[in-house]
Amino acid sequence: MIIRNVLEEIDNQFDNTLSQLQEFLRQPSMSGTGAGINRTAYQVFAKLKDLGFDTEIIPTPSNPIVFGKNYVAGKNAPTLLIHTSIDVMVTEGEAWWSVPPFAAELKEHSRFGPSLIARGAYTQKATLMALLETLRIIQDAGEKLPVNLLIVVDSEEESGSPSLSHFAQERYKELKKADSVYYPFFATDRRGIARLFLGTKGIVFLRLTCRGPSTRDLHSAEVGWIRNPAHILAKTLSSLVDIHGHPQIPGLLDDVQPPSKDDERLISLLAESFDPGIAALQLDARNLSIEADSMEDLLRRFLFEPTVNISGIQAGYVGESFKTVLPREASAHIDIRLTPNEDPNQVFQIVKNHIAGLGLTELVDLELGYTMNWAKTSDNTLIVKALLKSYYDFGVDSVEIWPMFPASVPLYIYADPPLKKPFVIGGLGHGGHAHGRDEYVVVEGIRHFQKGFIHFLSEFSQMRSRTSGEKT
């Protein structure tokens, strides 16, 4: 593949690429409700077929998986598995978007210039379409892919990817052909520093429901002799963390594995460039709330300690006027992020034991929503070295290697036995506001992502040919 030809074509066809991204993002695809999932999956299926992939839409008990295979590079070339997703979070309750969340409009960002605003612009649909458009441009330029590709497109990631494990078991022989796994992501921060990630946290998602003795909302004066479920819920939630948000559930920290020597080395390097003020600014926050003795300690605690988060609470009346009621029910959604060595099912049992210890088992219904395991890889692998080198080839001056990604994606499917594949998370381009109002990706960052992906494919192929037998 002649890189210069493809890079020129990326520039020549960028207006069309941007149009394709907008069209894709205008199609809702919410795994929580199923809205638009099948239509979006078929769009990806058709795109892969046009690119010459042997492509299937694989039914599951819930949402389908799109699986594409392309071995045009030949048997002597490496095989890269790309895992990504099409489902997005619901937009319910997110007021004050500057544009409708599925309008996919361009707006001028005060700091970054033209930006594409849409649900899925940052996670994860825009990276998928930018990647597919890049493959089309390679084809249009008359160039040959330097690597074989497997593409797995999940449509349940925001619901825990419950069907992915069965898919991996059924397609083990095909997935085993992959040398490494790549999770594409707009990973450039607002300073212009390009990041890559070597791990991902697990998650346990829970629903807590407390019901009062009445089947309806009551006048608040009845609280003198009718138990208020909101009080029970508040007591339960307040027992999960301290005032600073640190987990207080007995047993939750027992199996936490401290960072390895390699992790500590990366934390030390990261501490030299990490700016907590910029991190807070990117989150539209005044400051970070972790109390730490040093920059290394702050990063260590953020990346290698579990977190307990209350995603939402619902009870009674909270409208603008005054209404004194005793709610019949109160509920909350909880997500617990897990670090290496923690087992999601065991954590669920730990929470159940905690509620029992409070004497609230009869008053609080605890429901397991979904789980996802953590995953970890090494920086001493070809795929990590190739992505790192591709950043420098593109002209990026500053790079950060993060030992963990603080969010959860289902890479354990490939990293755990029996596949045991190395992986990396990353890519050029800047975006933000994941799962929130005015989710965005910077337009010029999309172009950077495409060009970086070209360098990455080339570097991975060349490194693989130079280091036959080394871990990929």
What pLDDT, on the 0 to 100 scale, is given for residue 10? 98
What pLDDT, on the 0 to 100 scale, is given for residue 227? 95
- On the question of pLDDT at 465 being above 80, the answer is no
Architecture of domain 203-256+305-372: 2-Layer Sandwich (3.30)
Q: Where in the chain is the domain with CATH 3.30.70.360?
A: 203-256+305-372
What pLDDT, on the 0 to 100 scale, is given for residue 1? 80
Please tell me the distance from the alpha carbon of residue 462 to that of residue 269, in angstroms, as a whole number: 27
What pLDDT, on the 0 to 100 scale, is given for residue 156? 96
Read off φ and ψ for residue 214, nearest 5 degrees: -100, 155
> If you average pLDDT over residues 234-245, what whole number do you get?
94
- On the question of pLDDT at 469 being above 60, the answer is no
- Percent of the chain exceeding pLDDT 70 equals 99
What pLDDT, on the 0 to 100 scale, is given for residue 54? 98
> If you average pLDDT over residues 95-114, what whole number do you get?
93
> If you average pLDDT over residues 338-366, what whole number do you get?
96
| Mean per-residue pLDDT of the chain | 95
User: HEC string of 324-346?
Assistant: CEECCEEEEEEEEEECCCCCHHH
Structure tokens that stand for 196 in this block: 């890559």
Spatial CA neighbour of 426 closest among 459, 444, 451, 453: 453
What pLDDT, on the 0 to 100 scale, is given for residue 468? 61
- Per-residue model confidence as pLDDT tens digits over 38-59: 999 999 999 999 999 999 999 9
H-run or E-run covering 69: strand 65-70
Handedness of CA 275, 281, 285, 287 (dihedral sign): positive
Spatial CA neighbour of 440 closest among 123, 90, 133, 191: 123
> If you average pLDDT over residues 258-279, what whole number do you get?
94
What is the CB neighbour count within 10 angstroms for residue 216?
10
Spatial CA neighbour of 163 closest among 87, 268, 109: 87
Please tell me the distance from the alpha carbon of residue 330 to that of residue 256, in angstroms, as a whole number: 32
- On the question of pLDDT at 470 being above 60, the answer is no
Q: How far is CA 279 from the centre of its chain?
A: 18
Beta bridge partners of 277: none
Handedness of CA 455, 461, 467, 470 (dihedral sign): positive
What pLDDT, on the 0 to 100 scale, is given for residue 471? 58
- On the question of pLDDT at 344 being above 60, the answer is yes
Fold of 3-200+374-466: Aminopeptidase (3.40.630)
Structure tokens that stand for 343 in this block: 């087992």
Read off φ and ψ for residue 42, nearest 5 degrees: -70, -35
> If you average pLDDT over residues 93-113, what whole number do you get?
91
> If you average pLDDT over residues 440-464, what whole number do you get?
96
What pLDDT, on the 0 to 100 scale, is given for residue 472? 65
DSSP H helices, 13-143, are: 14-25, 37-50, 125-140
- On the question of pLDDT at 289 being above 90, the answer is no
- On the question of pLDDT at 170 being above 90, the answer is yes
What pLDDT, on the 0 to 100 scale, is given for residue 217? 96
Sheet arrangement for strand 431-432: 105-109, 113-117, 440-442, 431-432
What pLDDT, on the 0 to 100 scale, is given for residue 320? 87
Residue found under tokens 């479920």: 229
Beta bridge partners of 338: 202
Please tell me the distance from the alpha carbon of residue 444 to that of residue 99, in angstroms, as a whole number: 20
**More confident site: 453 or 245:** 453
> If you average pLDDT over residues 367-390, what whole number do you get?
97
- On the question of pLDDT at 234 being above 60, the answer is yes
Q: Where in the chain is the domain with CATH 3.40.630.10?
A: 3-200+374-466
Distances in Å between the Cα of 126 and the Cα atoms of 314, 323, 428 are 32, 44, 13
Pick the range with the lowest mean pLDDT from 86-95, 137-146, 210-219, 391-400.
Answer: 86-95
- Per-residue model confidence as pLDDT tens digits over 25-40: 999 999 888 899 999 9
